[in-house]
Amino acid sequence: MIGLQHYLIVSAALFSLGMLGILTRRNAVNVLMGVELVLNSANLNLVAFSRFGSGNLQGQLFAVFVIVIAAAEVAVALAIVLTLYRLRRTSNLDEADILRG
Amino acid sequence: MSAEAVVFYVFGAITVLSGAVVVLARSLIYSAFALLFTFFGVAGLYVLLGADFLAATQLLIYVGGILVLLLFGVMLTHKLYDLDLRSEVTQFAPGIIVASGLFVILIAVAVRTQWTAGPGRPPSVTTAEVGRLFMGQYLLPFEAASILLLVALMGAAMIVRRRKLA
């Protein structure tokens, strides 16, 4: 019998992998991929609680909002990465230190 | 083992393994294509959870939109003759320690908490009900999300626009 905890464990694994990607990668696009993994794990949790919890659809609705915000986030973040690349010829986050005093 | 369990383990394995490839692959292109399989795996889990509308949304927006945007990001921030598209890895040992510590804590919370079992919601067709909720009870957040999307896309176009440097 597959229950709530099975989904929570898959989601925890996905979250930790995304966190590892955010922490260890230096390429900006690769860090964004880590953020996407984290958002997907949160969504999986929301839908699992919606399925096994109170039995209404609110978790799924919230997941739709998370997807919308992820789309907006990726669009803006890629615009920033492209501008950074145009300015500095790099997409390495350690070299993006223009704002440092 | 029931059919549900088999399907769950297949999709869970696809999700987690390709997620590991996303994080550990040397090449950015490999990461992007592994991300495709992660999104498919999560969509399969949504179907298993009875969220059919959400699974279709996941495929349309994540695979059709976000992944393509990320691939554009990979392609546009490297010189075209630069074939191997490596991504540097730093702080690998501390990262592994933090991520695995987090994983252990999350697993402990998930397993040891007594989750209050609600009535649950057996899988059924959700699209009509989701639409009714969006147009009714959740109309304001729905409109706010659409405004946010509009503003974000206009802002993104504004940021990348080439302008004359004064």
Tell which B residues from 101 to 140 touch A, by Cβ distance under 8 Å. 102-103, 106-107, 110-111, 115-121, 123, 126, 129-130, 133-134, 138
Domain ranges, residue A12? 4-95
Which residue has 């399925």 as its token pair?
A51
List the alpha helices (DSSP H) in chain A.
4-24, 28-52, 58-88
| In a domain? residue A17 | yes
CA–CA separation, B52 vs B149, rounded Å?
Answer: 23
Q: Which one, of B102, B90, B25, B139, lies nearest residue A14 by Cα?
A: B102
| In a domain? residue A100 | no
CA–CA separation, B77 vs A81, rounded Å?
Answer: 8
Confidence check: pLDDT of B83 > 60:
no
| In a domain? residue A14 | yes
Whether B99 and chain A come into contact, CB under 8 Å, resolves to: yes
Whether A15 and chain B come into contact, CB under 8 Å, resolves to: yes
| In a domain? residue A101 | no
CA–CA separation, B50 vs A71, rounded Å?
Answer: 23
> Number of folded domains in chain A?
1
Cβ contact A13:B103 at 8 Å: yes
| In a domain? residue A51 | yes
| In a domain? residue A75 | yes
Tell which B residues from 65 to 94 touch A, by Cβ distance under 8 Å. 65-66, 69-70, 72-74, 76-78, 87-92, 94
Which residue has 């405004």 as its token pair?
B147
CA–CA separation, A38 vs B150, rounded Å?
Answer: 24
Tell which B residues from 141 to 160 touch A, by Cβ distance under 8 Å. 141, 145, 148-149, 152-153, 155-157, 159-160
* Residue B39 CB neighbours (<10 A): 23
* Per-residue confidence (pLDDT) for residue B18, from 0 to 100: 95
Nearest CB to A79; choose among B20, B39, B160: B160
* Per-residue confidence (pLDDT) for residue B27, from 0 to 100: 84
CATH number, domain of A27, equals: 1.10.287.3510
Confidence check: pLDDT of B80 > 60:
no
pLDDT band at B165; cut points 50, 70, 90 = low
Confidence check: pLDDT of A86 > 60:
yes
CA–CA separation, A57 vs B51, rounded Å?
Answer: 9
3-state secondary structure of B54: helix
B86-141 pLDDT tens trace: 667 778 889 999 999 999 999 999 888 888 777 777 777 888 889 999 999 999 99
Distance (Å) from the C-alpha of residue A59 to the closest C-alpha of chain B?
Answer: 10
Whether A87 and chain B come into contact, CB under 8 Å, resolves to: no
Cβ contact B21:B41 at 8 Å: no
Burial tier of B127 (Cβ tally within 10 Å: 0-12, 13-18, 19+): exposed
ipTM of the complex: 0.91
Confidence check: pLDDT of A6 > 60:
yes
